[in-house]
Amino acid sequence: MDRHADHVEYVLRTVEERGVRFVRLWFTDVVGAMKSFSITPAELENALEEGMSFDGSAIEGYTRVQEADMLAVPDPNTFELLPWRGDDAPVARMFCDVHHFDGTAFDGDPRNVLKRNLAAARERGYRFFVAPEMEYFYFRSEREAEPLDNAGFFDLTTQDMATELRKQTILTLEAMGIPVEYSFHENGPSQHEIDLRYTDALSMADNVMTFRLVVKEVARANGVHATFMPKPISGAFGSGMHSHLSLFEGEANAFHDPGDEFGLSKTGKAFIAGLLRHAREITAVTNQWVNSYKRLVAGYEAPVYVCWARNNRSALVRVPLPKRGNTDAARVEYRAPDPACNPYLAFSLMLAAGLRGIDEGYELPPEATNNIFEMTSAQRAEAGIATLPTSLDEAIEVMAESSLVRDALGEHVFEYFLRNKRREWDDYRIQVTPWELSRFLGSL
Amino acid sequence: MMDVFMSALLVFPDPPPPLLAQTLDLAGFQWKAVANAAVAMAQIPEQGWAGAVVCADEDPEGAFGVCRVLRKGDAPVDGVLLLVSGAQLGELEHREDLFDDFCLSPFHPKELEARLQHLQWRAGRGAAGAEIAAYSGLEINVETYQAAVDGRPLDLTYMEYELLKFFVTNPGKVFTREQLLSRVWGYEYYGGARTVDVHVRRLRAKLGEEHANLIQTVRSVGYRFGQTRWGSGG
């Protein structure tokens, strides 16, 4: 019996033994929203063998109406019970790959995009691991950004009512097989961070989707609202998704070289060089909303300039010092992404940029040692330090010219993404904002 | 220490020779020593003896007495391994019905373990044959694929389940990542040894704080499930 058959048998048996009432089939649209429909246990076997058909025309970025019918094919290795649904009438979920009716993978499915990029890494002998730091806010409701508390970084006070929420969240995540490395109160009021332990990029993208749902479910069950909006409060810290990236070649960490000044191998350096050189092109995806660019400003430890450093927290790429002897821990931290990105596409592009650096043998520029925020723009230009796009508009236009992004996303997602994001920018551009009213209505 | 046993091996005499005790522990067998045939009868575990290792080199009369009671009754014990010295081989004649296999003493630990494993397999008590494997509040039903900890269902993915099953049925032994990959994943798995680390972390997360330390990291070697009475040297 092959492994797929073992998996299927295991899932069918578990559904029976645990009395599961519904199985939710999860997949993701192009902008990273989770989509779901439920099937009953009676439909499950067929779904696992052949997939379940659904109308793809309703999904952002999927398909034109005339070719609307698609298949959601569950991945039995992602079968988990949803802990918040309780034991009385258990509900389970599985992530799905989206296929055409002829069984071929659908190009518009972000999970498929990531699988394609991971296959490209595999051809070169690499496996790609990711560990993201997830930041988010709790507010009293979704209508207004009113914090639950005014505690600061690492504070543990009675004001910190969100500690209980975070604890429940972590227990739920762990029950779903998503181990947590650290969690703490972040800088902003009611801002929290939960760091997930590394795993392979595909599982991690699934985990990020699950994570966002769990955080929101736990908050809602407690009568508050959780948001991954990148910058909900002007003048406070925004929410990032710093991503720790590593490549393994066989059993060895491909980034590690104990003899090097930075502990970095040639491969590691070229990967960073690739990230840096293509950073501006991939920003539209790692930071995909109008609001994302309100976070990428100076003064809040968010990256603005394209540079790397070991210990400068405003650098775009940070090389954390691995603990002595722990060679497996060598990694690079890419600090631009925010937690409202589509993790499948964001991981795809970080990988593609790094692999391009390895393929082409890019040179790593010198480490940024001065505080680059204090340099004048002329000094930065002289030092060859570029600036990340400052608006969604700029990011989209840089991306539109990128063959790297086009290849990594595939034609379908690339074209759709640009169309969708240009529309978002146009909507935003014509708004008259409260800031303008307060600034100009009286004075002009 | 182990408090819930799949089912224990009977060992004679009590205490057994230290090398025998250590070999059984390191191999992950659960066992109980008995001093004589009467104790063997009086202390039959609920599920019956899983087999026996009987040393005949010091006290042959006592040893054969134990073998005899194991063969009697409603449920004769399968998988009796007799340890004899070379000089005793002649005494086995006409006693073939009292044991299933024998091993020369002094024994080689690997040989003893291999013979026991083989007897267990023949008796249908190998990992594949057991319906319920249990260890320290953790229970795995291999018929229904269900796991429970302290009676609470533990929801696992298939590979998490397979890994936990392997651990529970091989307690006390240290496995390298490579061994776990080949024995649990069982084929040229692309993920490499890091896959094992990832799954161990997931399992620990699901086991919860209280039971997470059942799976121990043995530095620069691999992992061990549960305790051995021989410390971390196992």
Taking an 8 Å cut-off on Cβ atoms, the answer to whether A18 and B153 are in contact is yes
Higher-scoring residue by pLDDT: A372, A435? A435
A138 and A18 in a common domain? no
Residue A214, pLDDT score: 96
ipTM of the complex: 0.82
Report which of residues A386 and A383 the model is more confident about. Answer: A386
Judge whether B97 lies within some domain.
yes
The Cα B207–Cα A60 span in angstroms is: 38
Residue-range definition of the domain harbouring residue A79: 3-105
Structural domain contains residue B129: no
Cβ contact (<8 Å) for B155 and A18?
A: yes
A214 or A62, greater pLDDT: A214
Specify if B150 maps to a domain.
Answer: no
Verify that A30 and A179 share a domain, yes or no: no
Residues B186 and B101 in one domain: no
Chain B residue with minimal CA distance to A81?
B155
Range of weakest confidence among A177-186, A379-388, B69-78, B135-144: B69-78
Q: In sequence order, what E strands does A47-190 have?
A: 52-55, 69-74, 80-81, 91-99, 126-139, 180-185
Between CA A130 and CA A203 the distance in angstroms is: 9
Beta strands, E only, A153-274: 180-185, 191-196, 199-200, 225-227, 243-249, 252-253
Residues A276 and A412 in one domain: yes
Given a contact cutoff of 8 angstroms between Cβ atoms, the answer to whether B120 and B9 are in contact is no
What's residue B127's pLDDT?
Answer: 44
Co-location of A33 and A73 in the same domain:
yes
Residue A306 sits in a domain of what CATH number? 3.30.590.10
Q: Which one has a higher pLDDT value, A327 or B159?
A: B159
Encoded amino acid at A185, one letter = H
Which of the four pLDDT bands, split at 50, 70 and 90, describes residue A1?
very low
Q: Which of A105, A136, A164 is the last residue of a domain?
A: A105
The domain containing residue B185 runs over which residues? Answer: 157-233
| A-to-B residue pairs, Cβ atoms closer than 8 angstroms | 69
Q: Are residues B26 and B81 in the same domain?
A: yes
A143 with A68, same domain: the answer is: no
Q: Using only the alpha carbons of chain A, give its radius of gyration.
A: 22
Same domain? For B162 and B227 the reply is yes
pLDDT at A127 over 90: yes
What's the pLDDT band for A279 if we cut at 50, 70, 90? Answer: very high
A353 and A249 housed in the same domain: yes
Cis omega before residue B76 (within 30°)? no
Question: A179–B201: do the CB atoms touch at under 8 Å?
Answer: yes
The per-residue pLDDT for B213 is 87
The reported pLDDT for the residue numbered B233 is: 38
Q: Hey, what are A315's tokens? A: 């650098």
Nearest to B158 among A76, A87, A179 (CB): A76
Q: Judge if B112 and B188 occupy the same domain.
A: no
For residue B156, the chain A residues in CB contact (below 8 A) are 177
- Clarify whether residues B105 and B35 are in a common domain: yes
> Does the CB of B217 have a partner CB in chain A at under 8 Å?
no
Closest Cα to residue B115, out of B134, B93, B100? B100
Asked if the bond preceding B13 is cis, omega within 30° of 0, the reply is yes
User: Do residues B102 and B181 both lie within one domain?
Assistant: no
Among B194, B200, B207, B215, pick the best mutation site for testing chain A contact (most A Cβ within 10 A).
B194
Q: Give the pLDDT score at A289.
A: 98
Residues B93 and B161 in one domain: no
At A252-261, the pLDDT tens digits run: 999 999 888 8
Question: In this structure, are A48 and A154 located in the same domain?
Answer: no
Query: Is A444 contained in some domain?
Result: no
Q: Cα–Cα distance between A275 and A352 in angstroms, integer?
A: 8
Does residue B93 sit in the same domain as residue B195?
no
If asked whether residues B86 and B169 sit together in one domain, one would say no
Interface contact flag, B144 A17, Cβ < 8 Å:
yes
For residues A310 and A262, the answer to whether their CB atoms sit within 8 Å is yes
CB contact under 8 Å between A179 and B145, yes or no, is: no
Q: How confident is the model at residue A362 (pLDDT cuts 50, 70, 90)?
A: very high
Q: Is residue A442 one of the residues assigned to a domain?
A: no
Q: In the predicted model, is pLDDT for residue A137 greater than 50?
A: yes
Is A159 touching B (CB cutoff 8 A)? no
Question: Domain with B13 in it: what CATH number?
Answer: 3.40.50.2300
Give the residue among B205, B203, B147, B161 at the shortest CA–CA distance from A173: B205
Neighbouring C-beta atoms of residue A173, cutoff 10 Å:
23
* pLDDT at res. B84: 92
Mutate to test the interface with B, among A8, A14, A256 (most CBs of B within 10 A): A14
Residue B129's contacts (CB-CB under 8 Å, 6 or more residues apart) are B121, B123
Q: Is residue A132, in this structure, part of any structural domain at all?
A: yes
- Given a cut of 80, whether residue A186 has pLDDT beyond it is no
Query: Which chain A residues are closer than 8 Å to B201 by Cβ?
Result: 179, 197
- Dump pLDDT digits (tens) for A291-314: 999 999 988 889 999 999 988 778
Q: Which residues from A are below 8 Å from B198, CB to CB?
A: 198-200, 203
The CA dihedral of A426, A431, A433, A436, to the nearest 10 degrees, is 100
Domain stops at, among B76, B99, B122 = B122
Record: contact B158-A180, CB cut-off 8 A: no
| Token pair recorded at residue A247 | 């490549």
Residue B136 domain flag: no
Tally of domains in chain A = 2
Give percent of chain A above pLDDT 70.
95
- pLDDT at A159 (0 to 100): 52
Q: Tell whether A91 and A218 lie within a shared domain.
A: no
Per-residue pLDDT of chain B (234 residues; tens, 9 = 90+): 333 345 789 999 999 999 999 888 888 788 899 999 888 888 887 777 888 999 998 898 899 989 888 887 666 788 899 999 988 888 888 888 889 899 998 999 989 988 988 887 776 655 444 577 888 888 888 888 889 988 888 999 999 999 999 998 888 888 998 888 888 887 556 667 888 999 999 999 999 888 888 999 988 889 999 875 444 433
d(CA A375, CA A444): 35
Given A56, A83, A105, the domain boundary residue is A105
* Domain end residue (candidates: B122, B140, B172): B122
Is the domain of A98 the same as that of A119? no
Q: Please give the tally of structural domains in chain B.
A: 2
Mark yes or no for CB contact B208/A174 under 8 Å: yes
A6 touches chain B (CB under 8 A): yes
User: How high does pLDDT run on average in chain A?
Assistant: 90
**Distance between CA atoms of residues A401 and A396, nearest Å:** 9
CB-based contact A268:A332 (threshold 8 Å): yes
Residue A443 domain-assigned?
A: no
Residue A245 has pLDDT above 90, yes or no: yes
Of A84, A105, A126, which residue constitutes the final position of a domain?
A105
Answer yes or no: is A110 within a domain.
Answer: no
Helices (H), A222-369: 266-286, 292-295, 343-360
Same domain, B14 and B113: yes
The answer to whether the Cβ–Cβ distance between B201 and A197 falls below 8 Å is yes
Instruction: Write the pLDDT tens digit of every residue in A194-203.
Output: 999 999 999 9
As a whole number of Å, the end-to-end CA separation of chain A is 77
pLDDT of residue B2: 37
Whether A52 and A140 map to the same domain: the answer is: no
Q: Given the DSSP bridges, would you call strands B9-12 and B31-33 parallel, antiparallel or unpaired?
A: parallel
Query: Does some domain include residue A222?
Result: yes
Residue type, A367: E
- B159: which chain A residues are within 8 Å (Cβ-Cβ)? 77
At A386 the pLDDT is 93
Distances in Å between the Cα of B229 and the Cα atoms of A222, A294, A403, B53, B173 are: 46, 59, 61, 19, 11
Burial A113-129 (b: 16+ CB within 10 A, else e): bbbbbbebbeeeebbbb
In a domain, B138, yes or no: no
Residue A11 sits in a domain whose CATH number is 3.10.20.70
